[in-house]
Chain A
Amino acid sequence: MLWGDVDITKRSIFRPEATSTHDWIGPPNPLSNLRPIVYHVPENETELEKRLRHLRQDTEDWNHDFWTKQNVMFTKEKDAFIFSQLNAKGLSVCDEQGRRRALNAEEMAVFYKSFLDTNRVRHADYNREWYRRNFTITLLMARVALNNMWKTVTDRHSRKKSSTPTT
């Protein structure tokens, strides 16, 4: 999938096998700055655990897409802004020594403000969706944890029962 000139689906190549005992978390993705997670699929995965895993994977992908777009857009617009400002001043992009010209903090502040203002609704929507997903994931995690705890307790209880010696 391409966004502008950038292929935004490419991620870190190495992925540990999903059959290990725990989830694995990787280094931050250079585009979205989010860390990818490889989820551990337990044997005898229950329906609830499967739902949780799918939701987490889906949220991770959704987050990655949003932040990649955000960061790429930010950089593109920032460069365009600097270029247009330099042009308006009649300056070339490079100065005499061949280095790129820069704008100072006050000039950049105009860009930062406009970026926030133009993306206001998009940010608010993302916020709402993120909170909803975060809550759901945590609730599911809690349910899975309680289920597992209950299973361990009942298993131990039934094992004790079956292991009592018959007189």
Chain B
Amino acid sequence: MFKTPCSRLSGLIGVSVKRKLVQNVPRCNQTARSLIQLYRRDPANWLTYQHLNFLKRQYVTKNKSELHQRAVPKQAPALTILDEREDGVERQVQRISTIDPVVSQPEDVTSKAQAEISDSTPVAEDVAAQNASVSSVVSKRDETPYVHVESEEAKEARLDRQWKEIKVNVTDLPDIYARLAKVKLTALVVTTAAAGFAMAPVPFDPLLFFVSCLGTGLASCTANSINQYFEVPFDSNMNRTKNRPLVRGQISPLHAVSFALACGVPGVALLTLAVNPLTGFLGALNIFLYTCCYTPLKRLSISNTWVGAIVGAIPPVMGWTAATGCLEPGALLLGGLLYSWQFPHFNALSWNLKEDYSRGGYRMMSVTHPGMCQRVALRHSVGLIGLSALAPVLDVTTWTFPLISLPINLYISYLAFRFYHKGDRNNARKLFFCSLWHLPMLLLLALTCKKPRRDPEDAALPSASSAS
């Protein structure tokens, strides 16, 4: 009886919706077409990395399939439009340019930076031509960048305005602290520690989980802050790091150290007292390794990469020990997975930053021993397959884990092999980006394949029932 009005109603709704849709189709077509046009732009202009928002790092752009180094800058002011994705942005960014000492006008030499289209420039660029004109690009305020040619006075005036008082604005502090502590990297570290905690074969304790994550996060903030405190002049000279708070003078070095202590002391204390002393010890050890071993070693020897891999491997071990209270083979296996993962990740990243590392005086494998860089990345990518197979042997996961992780492990090994074989920027970039999603996937798969715990009572019951 009620069918007819209902069906009539639904019929009416259907018709109106359909009419709406039909009306919208041309508009949708328009937007779809413009979107397609946007993406079908000349690949030479693609900002390939800018779409990966979640890490907000700065990467090399792909100007051509093979990127070249020019000896001297072009005559005409050139313009490269790049989007700077650092949070807490500077509206106008001076690009770190390499200097050309041979100039036609000797008196203007020092005030004009001769810039080049270099193959390692990720940030919004300010390119100076050889005669007294400067073109600047405003990156974030408006999406359409403009170029204007400045006179000498205008340039001086602009530089004058860039003088800032070193006065701490309290409202800026959270943002400054976030960047000082490299809050996104800290989040990743805490995630690996959480994975370690979750993989431990004990009942899940939410409070303990929360406390250990908090403690690990605080320890990571400390380590990152001290690292930035040590590296101010080096960071100033590298494009990737020149907008850090200490480089820009937003806070004083003493302030940074105080912040680091304010994070580190409660963090390690929390881990030692509220979790267990072993986890506290590992936290303190990791801070020490990162700040006092890895950071200075970066400029002394290539062994810094191995130390850095250990630093990355400790958080999941900490998560495990937080849950169980002791160091077991399972914990070391998780640490081993992270340790091996670091090599394809870091070697691929450093491959495209050779110029900055060389000029900054950093001794990285990619610059000094490029063959070893490729070999090590390949070796450890393949090693991931072996370690995944070891997981069920140590009762960390079931035998499903090596099987379902095989596709992603094979894929990263394949990319590492291409990197080893070809050794070009494109393959390095692909390997790096693969490593970014590979690790979370691997940890997630391990979690889903976690070996179900068997309680001691279950084991006793069957024997009791069989005895009776």
A residues lining the B interface (CB < 8 Å): 4-8, 10-16, 20-28, 30-35, 37-38, 63, 67, 70-72, 74-76, 78-79, 82-83, 86, 93, 99-106, 108-109, 111-113, 115-117, 119-120, 123-124, 126-127, 130-131, 134, 137-138, 141-142, 145
Contact = CB atoms under 8 A, between A and B. Distances in A.
Contacts of B363: 116, 120
Interface in B140-191: 156, 159-160, 162-167
The 4 closest A-B pairs by CB, nearest first: A102-B68, A25-B249, A112-B358, A27-B162
Given A83-B71, A100-B72, A23 B166 contact: yes
A27 B248 CA distance: 9
Given A8-B110, A79-B71, A138 B424 contact: no
Nearest to A120: B363
B249 A37 contact: yes
B119 A105 contact: yes
B348 interface: no
Nearest to B253: A138
A9 B101 CA distance: 14
Interface residues of B, number: 63
Contact of A7 (B74, B109, B367): B109
Interface string B262-282: 000000000000000000000
A134 B103 CA distance: 35
A22 to B, nearest CB: 5
Contacts of B236: 28, 33-35, 67
B395 interface: no
Contacts of A26: 159, 162-164
Given A100-B74, A102-B68, A126-B361, 19 more contacts: A10-B111, A33-B237, A33-B242, A35-B236, A67-B237, A70-B359, A71-B98, A72-B101, A75-B101, A79-B72, A104-B66, A104-B69, A105-B67, A105-B424, A106-B423, A109-B367, A113-B358, A113-B370, A116-B361
B448 interface: no
Contacts of B101: 4-6, 72, 75-76
A5 B14 CA distance: 79
B254 interface: yes
B368 interface: yes
Contact of B166 (A7, A25, A32, A70): A25
14 contacts: A5-B103, A6-B99, A21-B165, A33-B96, A67-B236, A78-B71, A93-B71, A102-B71, A105-B69, A108-B354, A115-B359, A117-B368, A131-B230, A134-B229
